[in-house]
Structure 1
Amino acid sequence: MSTNTQFALGVHLLTLLATLAPESLSSEAMAESAMANPVQIRRALGRFRQAGLIASKPGVGGGSHLLKDPATITLGEVWRVVQGENHVLGSYPGDPDCAVGRNIQSWVIDVDRRARQAIEDELERTTIAQLVARAHEPRLDGIE
C-alpha cells in the first residue's frame, strides 16, 4: 500500500473513531467503512496504538477507541505516524563517478526536506474534529 493511501486510510479510521467516540469499533466494521481489508486496518491501527492515539481491546466485544481529543489530533500528526522518517519524494543511489550521480542525492534530499515541511505545515491546519464536523455537512455534489 502506498504512503498516500495509508495516510488517507488513517485519516478515515481516526475520523470514524472520533465520530463514534467514546464507543469502540471493531477492525471488521472499520474495514467495511473504509472498503479495505481488515488486515490493512489492523496494521494501521497498530501504528496509531504505538503513537498513543488509540487503544484497542482484542477479542469478542473488543475494538478500538481514541485516547486523545479529536480536536488535538492534527492531520500533520497522522502524517508523521504514517510517513515516519521515509522520504516524501523517494531516493536512489547515484553513480559516485558521475558529477550528477555523486551530488544528486544531497540535492534531492534538500528538496525532500522542504517538501516534507510544506506538507506538514499544511496538514497542521486541520484536526480530526474538524473533519468530524465536515462529515455531517451536505456534499456539494448532492451525494450523501
Structure 2
Amino acid sequence: MTSNRFAMAVHIMTLLDVNEGERMTSELIAGSVNTNPVVIRRIIGMLSKAGLVTTNAGVAGAVITRPTDQITLLDIYNAVSSPTQDELFAIHEKPNPNCGVGRNIQSSLEKAFDEAKKAMENKLSEITLAQIAGDVAGKINIE
C-alpha cells in the first residue's frame, strides 16, 4: 500500500493555496498536518523536484508554481510516489508453485491490480487542486 505521503502532500498544497500570499514555514505546515517539520520539508522537496512548488534558500516557505486548476491530484501523487515504493497493491512473493492457484494467482492479480491502478490514476487526473482547496475553503467559511 502507498504511504500517507500523498495525503500529506495534498494537505500541504491545499494549505499553501488557501493561505496564498503568506510564506508558510515548515513548522506552521507541520502544525496543520500534525507531523514533524522534517517530514514536511521532505515532501516539499519532492513537490519542488516535480515543479509543483518553488522554494528559495534562506527564505521560509514554498510557493505553488502554477494555477491550482492546472495541478491535478495525479500530479501530486506522481510527485511523492517513489519508483522503488511498493505498488498500490502488493502481491505476496512466494505462493506454492505446486498448487494450481498458487502457480497462477500472481499473473491474474497483476492484471487486475494494473487495471485498478489505471482507473485510480484516471480519476486523480480529473480532480484539480483548485477543487480540493475550494471545498476546504468552503468548509472553513462555514465554521
| Interval of TM-score (by shorter of Structure 1 and Structure 2) | 0.7 to 0.9
State the secondary structure of the residue aligned to 1:136.
helix
Q: CA deviation at 1:137?
A: 1.5
Structure 1 gaps of 5+ residues are none
Counterparts in 2 of 1:56 and 1:88: CA distance versus 1, 3 Å: same
Matched, 1:134 2:132: no
- CA distance in 1: counterparts of 2:81 and 2:108, whole angstroms: 21
After TM superposition, the structure 1 stretch with the greater mean CA deviation from structure 2, 37-46 or 16-25, is 16-25
Which of 32, 52, 73 is matched with 2:71 structurally? Answer: 73
- Counterpart of 2:123 in structure 1 is 122
Mapped contact 1:54–1:65 kept (Cα < 8 A): yes
After TM superposition, the structure 1 stretch with the greater mean CA deviation from structure 2, 9-18 or 88-97, is 88-97
Q: Percent of aligned pairs with the same residue?
A: 32
- CA distance in 1: counterparts of 2:6 and 2:74, whole angstroms: 10
TM-score, normalised to structure 1, is 0.82
After TM superposition, the structure 1 stretch with the greater mean CA deviation from structure 2, 7-16 or 80-89, is 80-89
Mapped contact 1:70–1:128 kept (Cα < 8 A): yes
State the secondary structure of the residue aligned to 1:64.
strand
- Counterpart of 1:54 in structure 2 is 53
User: Aligned pairs, how many?
Assistant: 140
- CA distance in 1: counterparts of 2:139 and 2:76, whole angstroms: 25
Amino acid at match of 2:89: L
- CA distance in 2: counterparts of 1:32 and 1:6, whole angstroms: 16
- Counterpart of 1:42 in structure 2 is 41
Q: CA deviation at 1:95?
A: 4.2
Cα deviation, 1:41-66, whole Å, max 9, x if unaligned, reads: 1121121111111111243x422111
State the secondary structure of the residue aligned to 2:126.
coil
Mapped contact 1:22–1:66 kept (Cα < 8 A): no
- Counterpart of 1:29 in structure 2 is 28
Mapped contact 1:95–1:101 kept (Cα < 8 A): yes
- Counterpart of 1:18 in structure 2 is 17
- Counterpart of 2:81 in structure 1 is 83
Q: CA deviation at 1:74?
A: 0.7
- CA distance in 2: counterparts of 1:106 and 1:55, whole angstroms: 41
- CA distance in 1: counterparts of 2:120 and 2:53, whole angstroms: 24
